């Protein structure tokens, strides 16, 4: 049973929210998030909803308030840390959405520290490294994400991770490895148009007279 679904069944007192990376050519996926259902007038519930479902300054402020409160003390330590990791993750997505890659990476670092077994955190940090022009660190994070199993309700976007790792290799001029990654992405998701387009561009770079 997925880890978040297990928490819902076990405790019966949490709400599930969804959050996604902003839509880009890299087509990042969405994930389900979990926190307290304290009622419509609860500041924690309001902040959780804003933190997890927006990508603007209000989301950053709400996530920051949740982080400042610290881990929940009414749940087990492990679940409290995972919930705190989600707050950092969500704030990181908001920072990345406005192009603040350094703060986004710092928040993803914290999410990984609190919950190092979640591949999504390595994946989104890889996206931030790729966006800020650091393909080597992006590749390292995609490597880590791809080799890890996913236990979340929303399946980890392995096809996107392969595609984005291919983009990182393309940025380094390593088109053979880029094509191999695009092949993997397409094998996992034959309808992945962006990966096909990226592969065509990489193949064109390998055409005679292009290198």
Asked if residue 172 and residue 142 are part of one domain, the reply reads no
Residue range(s) defining the domain that contains residue 194 = 157-211
pLDDT at position 46 is: 86
Mean pLDDT score of the chain: 81
DSSP-assigned letters across all residues of 101-131: HHHHHHHHHHHHHH-TT-HHHHHHHHHHHHH
DSSP-assigned letters across all residues of 69-104: H-S-SSS-HHHHHHHHHHHHHHHHHHHHHTT-HHHH
Asked if residue 171 and residue 111 are part of one domain, the reply reads no
Asked if residue 24 and residue 119 are part of one domain, the reply reads yes
- For the whole model, what pTM was predicted? 0.79
- Quickly state the pLDDT bin for 208 (edges 50, 70, 90): confident
Q: What is the pLDDT of residues 69-96, one digit of tens each?
A: 887 766 556 788 998 999 999 999 999 9
Q: Which of 112, 132, 150 is the last residue of a domain?
A: 150
Query: Above 80 in pLDDT, residue 191?
Result: yes
pLDDT at position 67 is: 92
- Quickly state the pLDDT bin for 138 (edges 50, 70, 90): very high
Asked if residue 130 and residue 105 are part of one domain, the reply reads yes
Q: What is the pLDDT of residues 1-39, one digit of tens each?
A: 233 332 332 333 344 444 445 444 444 444 444 444 444
CATH code assigned at 92: 1.25.40.10
Asked if residue 18 and residue 119 are part of one domain, the reply reads yes
Query: Above 80 in pLDDT, residue 172?
Result: yes
pLDDT at position 154 is: 64
Q: Which of 133, 150, 167 is the last residue of a domain?
A: 150
pLDDT at position 28 is: 44
Asked if residue 172 and residue 103 are part of one domain, the reply reads no
Asked if residue 8 and residue 73 are part of one domain, the reply reads yes
CA distance 197 to 113: 35
Asked if residue 116 and residue 65 are part of one domain, the reply reads yes
């Amino acid at each position: 049973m997925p880890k978040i679904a297990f928490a819902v069944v076990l405790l019966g007192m949490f709400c599930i929210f969804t959050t996604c990376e902003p839509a880009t050519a890299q087509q990042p996926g969405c994930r389900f998030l979990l926190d307290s259902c304290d009622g419509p007038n609860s500041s924690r519930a309001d902040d959780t909803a804003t933190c997890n479902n927006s990508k603007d300054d209000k989301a950053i402020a709400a996530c920051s308030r949740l982080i400042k409160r610290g881990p929940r003390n009414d749940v087990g330590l492990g679940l409290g840390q995972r919930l705190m990791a989600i707050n950092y993750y969500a704030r990181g997505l908001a920072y990345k959405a406005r192009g603040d890659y350094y703060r986004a990476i710092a928040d993803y670092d914290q999410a990984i520290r609190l919950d190092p077994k979640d591949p999504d955190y390595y994946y989104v940090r890889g996206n931030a490294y790729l966006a800020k022009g650091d393909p080597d660190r992006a590749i390292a994070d995609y490597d880590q994400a791809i080799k890890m199993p996913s236990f979340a309700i929303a399946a980890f976007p392995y096809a996107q991770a392969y595609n984005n790792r291919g983009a990182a290799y393309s940025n380094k001029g390593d088109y053979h490895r880029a094509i191999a990654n695009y092949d993997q992405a397409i094998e996992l998701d034959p309808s992945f148009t962006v990966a096909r387009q990226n592969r065509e561009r990489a193949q064109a770079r390998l055409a005679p007279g292009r290198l």
